[in-house]
Chains A and B, each alone.
Chain A
Amino acid sequence: MKLSRKWLNEFVDLSLEDVDDKAFAEAMTVSGSKVEVTEDLSADMKNVKVGKILKLEKHPNSDHMLVCQLDVGEKEPVQICTGAWNVHEGDLVPAALHNSLLPGGVKITKGKLRGVESYGMLCSLKELELTVHDFDYAVIKPAAILGDYHPIDPAKPSISADIKAGDKIFGKVISAAVKAVELAGVNRWRCTLNLGGGEAVTVTDCQNVHAGDLVAYDTGKDSICSLEDLHARQEEFPHCIADGILILHEDCKPGDDMAVLLGRDDHVVEFEITPNRPDCLCMIGLAREAAVTFGKELKLHEPVVQAKAGGNIHDMAKVIIEEPELCPRYIARMVKNVTIGPSPDWMKERIRNAGMRPINNIVDITNYVMLEYGQPMHAFDFSCVDNGEIRVRRAREGESIRTLDGTERQLSTNMLCICDTEKPVCVAGVMGGENSEIVGDTAMVLFECANFNGPSVRRTATALGMRTDASSRYEKGLDPENTAKAVERACELIELLGCGEVVDGVIDVYPGKKAQTTVKLEPEKINALLGTDIDEGTMRKILLDLGFTLDGDTIYVPSWRGDVEHYSDIAEEVARFYGYNEIPTRFTGGIATCGGFSPYQLCERQVGQTCRSLGLDEIITYSFISPNYYDKIRMPKDDPRRDSLKILNPLGEDTSIMRTTILPSMLEILSRNYNYRNKSAALYEIGRVYNKRADGLADEPRMVSIGAYGMEMDFFVLKGWVEALLKDLGTKRPHFEQERNNPSYHPGRCAKVYVGEELVGVLGQIHPAVAANYGVDAEFYCAELSFETLFAVKGALPVYKPLPRFPAVTRDIAVVCRADIPVGDMTEHILSSGGKYLVDCVPFDVYMGHHITEGMKSVAFSLSMRAEDQTLTDEHAEETVKRVLKALNERFGAVMR
C-alpha cells in the first residue's frame, strides 16, 4: 500500500516539516503499520522546468535536428537541440536543464550535438514516465513532411526529389509549401499553404508542420496528409513519427518546476500491511493509524450527494444476489448523462502517486474511491446490461468472458460473476468485462460497490491468473459496512467533477449483515497479559481514538475491525499505542524447569561428533525424492519401500515422494561432488525416512547415512568407521555378515552389521551399475545405519575395570581351512571358546597360493592371554592355544599349518 504524504495531510495534520520521513516511518512501524520504504518523488525529477520556445531554427549541421531558444524563467534564454519535430515557437515544453535528473535515474548534462551547444533536453511523455492518460491531449500525429521522404528503392521514388508546390502526387493530393503556422487551439494549427498556383488555409492536428516545409495536401478533403493518408511506410518518412516532446497546455509559466506541476512534490510511503488489517489498505485506514500514532485529530469527510438527475434507480435497475454466502452485500447507484473525459489534475496526481494510472474520469473515480476508502468499485456501461438486471451468481458451465485486459477467460462454476439476464459482465471482485466497459460515448453508468467473500475472490483470481488491485483487497475480507460510504463518495465525486448526474435512490441488497462485535474491557487481564501497569483511562482513550465505542465495560468493535474479537486483541490495540518497546523486560518467575538434551538427542549428537572425528562432513538433503530414484538404486520392483507417501501437488517429479531410504540422497550428493571434480568426499547425514502408516501419516525414523569416495577409500576403511561408531556408543561387539543380495551394493563387498540379534544396517561398495545410473565410474562407499537401532543398542554408562597388573602373553597361530569360511566367524569362535585366559584374538594374515591346497587358505591369528591374579606361565599359554586349535578344528575343520 502506497501512501501519499501530501494526500494524508487532508486527513491528519502531519506535514513533512513537522514529521520527516524517518520519524514517520519509525513511529508508524512500531505502532503496527510497517513502512517498507519511503520515496521522495521529486528526488526522481530534478531541475526539469517549463520552458517556452522563443525561437526555433534548423540545426546547421543536421537535416533533422532543431535548435530551440527557450525561456526557462531566467534572465537569458537557454539553447537546447532536439530531434523532435512536433514543437513550435510559443510552445510550453518540459525542459530537463543542465544537471537535471529524470525518472529512472537518467542524468542530463549540457553537451554539443553536432557542434551546437545544447544545455539540456526537451522531454517526451515517456521520459517523464507518463502516458497519454496523464495528458490526453499529448497524442502525437505526424504529417508526412516531403523533405523527409526516403524512397525504399532510391531508383524508383514515388515522390520526385525536385517536387515543388502545386505538383500532383496522386489523385487529388498535391504538394504544398507551408507559408505560416499558427496555434488554433489545443493541438490544432492553422496553416497557410502555397499550392503553386494559389493559396489555401487549412487546420491540422499534425504537430510537425512548420513554415517552410513541403507537405502533401489533399485538395478534396482540405487536409494535410498523414503517412497513413499517403499509404506510406514509416521508414519512408523516418522523422515523421508519432512521438515527440510533450507540449503543455496547463496553467503554467516558464521556469515552473515540472515536478511540482506533475504533483511529484510528494513523499510516498510504502507499507507492508498484515493480512488481518485490510482496513489499512487505504488512505482513511492509514490516516486513522497515523492520527492515533501521533496523537492528532482524524479529519473525516462525510460525502454529500445531490442526486438531481430525476427518476429513481429502483425504476431502472434490479439487483438479485443468488449467492449470499459469496456476496454479503451489493450496492448499486446510477449516473446519467455521463461525459467521459480526463480527470482533474489533483485527482490524476493522487492516482499516479499511489502507483496507479489515470484512465478517464469515471474509471479514475472508482480507483480514487478505492484508494481513499479501500473499497473496490466497478462501473458498468448501463446500456450494456441487458434488461437492467444485475444477477450475482456463479458462472455456468462453459461460460466465458473477455475481461478488460482483452483476454478471453474460461469461467468455472465456483467463480462468482456479476451477470445481466443473459451473460456475465464482470468477474466478481476481480475484473470487469469488455462487454460493459466504460467507453468514450458511455452515457449511463451503473456503479457497483459490493462486498464479496475473500477466499472466493482469491481462488477465482488465482485460477484465472490475474491478481488485480481490487482482488488483492477483496481477498483479505473487506468490511461490508464500508460499501455504503464508498459509493456515496463516488457519486459525490461525479457531481464535483461535473461529469454526470446522479440518479436518486440506492439499491442495497445486504443479506450478510452481521451484528456488531462486542468485547468486555478487562484492564487487569490486559495488564496481566502484557506485564504492564497501564491505567484504564489510557486504554479507553486508545480505543476511542481508533474508532471503537465504549458503553461502560462493553467495547463495541467498529465494523472495519473484523480482526478484533477477544480481550487479547484489545490487549494488542492497547499495546500498539502504549508502545511495544515500553513494555518492561522482566522475568515474572513461574515454576523452574530443567532444560537439556534428552538421551535420544544426546545419542544423536554423539553419533554426529564421532562421524566428524572420523573426518566426515555433515550434509543436509531434501526429504523428498523422485520415484525413479528407486530404480536408480536398483530397488526391486516388489520392495515394500517403494510404497512411499506421495505428494499430490509436488513442485516437480524430483521432489514428489517422501524417501523411504536415505541412500539415493547420499548418492546424489556424492555424484554431485564427483561431477564438481572434488577429488574426494567423506560425508554423513543423520536424516529421517518416511514410512507410510495405516492412518495416512508416517513413521519418521532417523537413519545415519555415510558415503565416501576417493582418498584411500576401500571396504575396510568404511568398516572401520562403522566399528568406531559402534565402539564409541559402547555397544556389544558387532558382527558382520556378508551380504550378496542387496542390489544397490557390490555383491562381493557388502555386509550387514549386527549388534547381538539387532540388524544395525548395511555397508559396502555401491554396485557399479548403480554408480553408472548416477553417471559415475568411481567406487562409492556407503553405509546406511538405523539410528533408532543404534540408540537401542547403545551401551550403558561404562564401569571402571581395574587396569591389568600382570603382563599379557601372546601366541601367534596359523591354521589352514576352507577358503570360504569367514575369518570373522573364526575369530568369534576363538574368542568364545578360548577359555578364561584368552582376552583378544586378532587375525593378521590370510594367505592363499603356494604350498596351500587349492580351495584352502591359511589364516594367522594373534592371541593375547592374561590372568588377573598371576603372570601366565608357558603351560597356561599352551593350554589356551590347544583349546583354540581344537575348537577351530571341530567347528571349521581347520588344522594347524
Chain B
Amino acid sequence: MKELMQALRAASIQAILAADDAENLENLRVRYLGKKGELTGILRQMGKLSAEERPAMGQMANQLRTEIENAIEARRTELNKAMLEKKLELETVDVTLPAKDVRIGHKHPMYNVLDQIKEIFIGMGFEIVDGPEVELADYNFTKLNIDEGHPSREWTDTFYFTEDSKILLRTQTSPMQVHAMETKSLPIRMIAPGRVYRKDEVDATHSPMFHQIEGMVIDKGVTMADLKATLNLVVEKIYGEGTVTRFRPHHFPFTEPSCELDIQCHKCGGKGCPTCKGEGWIEVLGAGMVHPKVLSGCGIDPDVYSGWAFGMGLERLAMGEYKITDLRLIFENDVRFLEQF
C-alpha cells in the first residue's frame, strides 16, 4: 500500500505539473482526490491492514492528500497568472493613438487677466462695482473736473446720443468713482472694470470699444503712501515678485497729485530695448489722489476724507501678458485664437 501511494504521488505530481489549463487541472483533482478517485481507491484497502499499520498509513494518506491538494493549488495559481498575462497581452492598446476628443471651454484671455486682477483686489478688501455704459456727460466729465472746453469732450473723440452732448458712451470707467462716492457708504475700497468707448478707428492698437479697470479708495487719512503701497503690491502680483516700479508725475483732471506707474522692462532690465521702446520702463497705469474738487462735488468733505484712484487699460495688459500682437484678435473671436488660452 505504501508503494501504491508513492506511485500515486509521483504520477499525480507529474500530471498536475503538466496540466495546461484550469479544466484539466480540475479533472486531475477529481481523478486523484474525488470520491471515486485514486486516493480514495487506495484508502479503501485500509481495511486489509492490521490495526498497527493503520495509523501510519492513514497519516501517510492524509499527507499525500495535502501534497496533491497543494500541488493542484500551486498549479492553479500559476495557470491563473499565465491566463491573466495572456489576457492583458491581448488587451494591449497603442497608447500613442489619439485620445477621445474632450471639449473644454476657454475663458477669453482678456477676462482671464481681468479675473486675476479682481482676485488680487478682493484679497485686499476691495469690492467690485458695476455701472452704466450709456452715461451722462455730467458723470463722465463734469463731476470729474473735466471742463466744457476739454478736447476729450469733442464729437471727434466721444460718442454722443443727444445733440446737447449730455448723454454719451462713457469714455472711461472713472464715472464709476462718482457713482461709488454718491451711493456707497464710507469707507470705500472698490474696483470697477468695464467697457469704455472712444472714437478711434480699428487698427492693431486701437478699437472704438475697449476695457478699463478703475479703482478707488476713500477713507480717513488715506495718503499717497497708501496709493504707492497698494499699487506696488498689485504690480508685483501681476508681474512677479521683485518687479521694480517707478512713479512719475502725470496729469489727470480728477486726481491731484497725479502719477503714472512704470515697471522696469523685464526684458532688458531697464537698459532699453525694443519692448520698452528704448526707455527701460513700461507704463502700466495712471493714478493719483482723488481731487478735492471731485470729493466735494460728490458730497464728501475733503477736509475729513481723502482718497486715491487708479485706472488701467485691460487690453494692453492682456496683450502684454499673452504676447498678443494685434488688438483686433481680441474682438475677432476666432476659435483658433480663443482655444490657445
Q: 1/0 per position for B313-341, CB-CB distance to A under 8 A?
A: 00000000000000000111111101100
B333 touches A572 (CB 8 A): no
B225 touches A613 (CB 8 A): no
Chain B's closest residue to A567 (CB) is: B292
Q: 1/0 per position for B278-290, CB-CB distance to A under 8 A?
A: 1100000000010
Compute how far the CA of A611 lies from the CA of B105 in the bound complex, rounded to whole angstroms.
7
Chain A's closest residue to B292 (CB) is: A568
Binds A, one of B18-26, B35-43, B119-127: B119-127
B258 within 8 A of A: yes
Binds B, one of A374-382, A440-448, A626-634, A649-657: A649-657
8 Å CB interface, A595-641 against B = 595-598, 601, 608, 611-624
B48 within 8 A of A: no
Minimal beta-carbon separation of B62 from chain A (angstroms): 48
Known A-B contacts A455-B149, A672-B332, A698-B134; the reply to A531 vs B162 at CB < 8 A is no
Residues of B within 8 Å of A725, CB to CB, are none
B293 within 8 A of A: yes
* A: number of interface residues (CB 8 Å): 92
B237 within 8 A of A: no
B248 touches A569 (CB 8 A): no
Residues of B within 8 Å of A594, CB to CB, are 125
A620 touches B110 (CB 8 A): yes
Which of B167, B189, B197, B257 contacts A595 (CB under 8 A)? B189
Chain B's closest residue to A589 (CB) is: B221
B199 within 8 A of A: yes
Known A-B contacts A594-B125, A618-B108; the reply to A672 vs B333 at CB < 8 A is yes
A37 within 8 A of B: yes
B31 within 8 A of A: no
Q: 1/0 per position for B234-276, CB-CB distance to A under 8 A?
A: 0000000000001111110000111100000000000000000
A180 within 8 A of B: no
B128 touches A697 (CB 8 A): no
Residues of B within 8 Å of A29, CB to CB, are 248
Residues of A within 8 Å of B127, CB to CB, are 593, 595-596, 598
Known A-B contacts A454-B149, A646-B161, A673-B333; the reply to A595 vs B125 at CB < 8 A is yes
Residues of B within 8 Å of A514, CB to CB, are none
Known A-B contacts A532-B225, A594-B125, A601-B128; the reply to A612 vs B104 at CB < 8 A is yes
Known A-B contacts A612-B105, A617-B105; the reply to A648 vs B160 at CB < 8 A is yes
B229 within 8 A of A: yes
Compute how far the CA of A645 lies from the CA of B162 in the bound complex, rounded to whole angstroms.
10
- Interface size of B as a range: 35 or more
Residues of A within 8 Å of B126, CB to CB, are 593, 595
Number of A-B contacts (CB under 8 A): 245
B81 within 8 A of A: no
Minimal beta-carbon separation of B224 from chain A (angstroms): 5
A516 within 8 A of B: no
A471 within 8 A of B: no
Residues of B within 8 Å of A646, CB to CB, are 161
Minimal beta-carbon separation of A619 from chain B (angstroms): 4
A876 within 8 A of B: no
Residues of B within 8 Å of A611, CB to CB, are 105
A618 touches B257 (CB 8 A): no
Chain B's closest residue to A580 (CB) is: B247
Which of A618, A622, A696 contacts B209 (CB under 8 A)? A622
Compute how far the CA of A684 lies from the CA of B108 in the bound complex, rounded to whole angstroms.
10
Chain B's closest residue to A462 (CB) is: B156
Residues of B within 8 Å of A365, CB to CB, are none
Compute how far the CA of A93 lies from the CA of B46 in the bound complex, rounded to whole angstroms.
138
A531 touches B226 (CB 8 A): yes
Residues of A within 8 Å of B219, CB to CB, are 590-591
Compute how far the CA of A614 lies from the CA of B248 in the bound complex, rounded to whole angstroms.
46
B331 touches A620 (CB 8 A): yes
B107 touches A696 (CB 8 A): no
A688 touches B104 (CB 8 A): no
Compute how far the CA of A588 lies from the CA of B226 in the bound complex, rounded to whole angstroms.
7
B2 within 8 A of A: no
B12 within 8 A of A: no
A595 touches B121 (CB 8 A): yes
8 Å CB interface, B62-107 against A = 103-107
Which of A566, A587, A591, A697 contacts B229 (CB under 8 A)? A587
Compute how far the CA of A874 lies from the CA of B19 in the bound complex, rounded to whole angstroms.
51
Minimal beta-carbon separation of A622 from chain B (angstroms): 5
B338 touches A618 (CB 8 A): yes
8 Å CB interface, B136-155 against A = 136, 148-151, 154-155
A277 within 8 A of B: yes
B257 touches A572 (CB 8 A): yes
A32 touches B248 (CB 8 A): yes
Known A-B contacts A32-B248, A595-B123, A700-B132; the reply to A676 vs B149 at CB < 8 A is no
Q: 1/0 per position for A682-714, CB-CB distance to B under 8 A?
A: 111000101000001110100000000001000
Which of A566, A649, A684 contacts B292 (CB under 8 A)? A566
Compute how far the CA of A458 lies from the CA of B251 in the bound complex, rounded to whole angstroms.
20
Residues of B within 8 Å of A245, CB to CB, are none
Compute how far the CA of A587 lies from the CA of B223 in the bound complex, rounded to whole angstroms.
9
Compute how far the CA of A584 lies from the CA of B278 in the bound complex, rounded to whole angstroms.
28
Compute how far the CA of A658 lies from the CA of B250 in the bound complex, rounded to whole angstroms.
34
Known A-B contacts A30-B246, A532-B225, A620-B333; the reply to A585 vs B232 at CB < 8 A is yes
Compute how far the CA of A593 lies from the CA of B125 in the bound complex, rounded to whole angstroms.
5
B163 within 8 A of A: yes
Known A-B contacts A585-B232, A614-B105, A620-B333; the reply to A647 vs B169 at CB < 8 A is yes
Compute how far the CA of A588 lies from the CA of B163 in the bound complex, rounded to whole angstroms.
47
Compute how far the CA of A592 lies from the CA of B159 in the bound complex, rounded to whole angstroms.
39
A617 touches B278 (CB 8 A): no
A618 touches B128 (CB 8 A): no
Residues of A within 8 Å of B201, CB to CB, are 651
A580 touches B151 (CB 8 A): no
B220 within 8 A of A: yes
Which of B133, B151, B156, B333 contacts A475 (CB under 8 A)? B151
B221 touches A597 (CB 8 A): no
Chain A's closest residue to B109 (CB) is: A618
B297 within 8 A of A: no
A615 touches B105 (CB 8 A): yes
Chain A's closest residue to B161 (CB) is: A645
Chain A's closest residue to B221 (CB) is: A588
Compute how far the CA of A575 lies from the CA of B127 in the bound complex, rounded to whole angstroms.
30
Minimal beta-carbon separation of B290 from chain A (angstroms): 9
The 3 closest A-B pairs by CB, nearest first: A531-B225, A531-B223, A615-B103
Chosen A-B contacts, 25 in total, with CB atoms closer than 8 Å, are A30-B246, A274-B250, A275-B151, A455-B151, A530-B225, A568-B291, A569-B256, A586-B226, A587-B225, A588-B221, A590-B187, A593-B126, A593-B189, A595-B124, A595-B127, A601-B130, A612-B105, A618-B106, A618-B107, A618-B111, A649-B156, A649-B160, A658-B134, A683-B333, A700-B132
Q: Which residues of B contact A (CB under 8 A)?
A: 103-108, 110-111, 118, 121-128, 130, 132-136, 148-151, 154-156, 159-163, 166-167, 169, 187-189, 195, 197, 199, 201, 208-209, 219-226, 228-230, 232, 246-251, 256-259, 277-279, 289, 291-293, 306, 330-336, 338-339
Q: Which residues of A contact B (CB under 8 A)?
A: 29-32, 34, 36-37, 274-277, 453-455, 458-459, 462, 475, 528-532, 563, 566-569, 571-572, 575-576, 580-581, 583-598, 601, 608, 611-624, 645-651, 655, 658, 669, 672-673, 676, 678, 680-684, 688, 690, 696-698, 700, 711
Given contacts A31-B249, A529-B224, 16 further A-B contacts (CB under 8 A): A455-B149, A529-B289, A529-B306, A531-B225, A568-B289, A581-B246, A593-B126, A611-B105, A614-B105, A620-B108, A623-B209, A624-B208, A645-B161, A682-B105, A697-B136, A698-B132
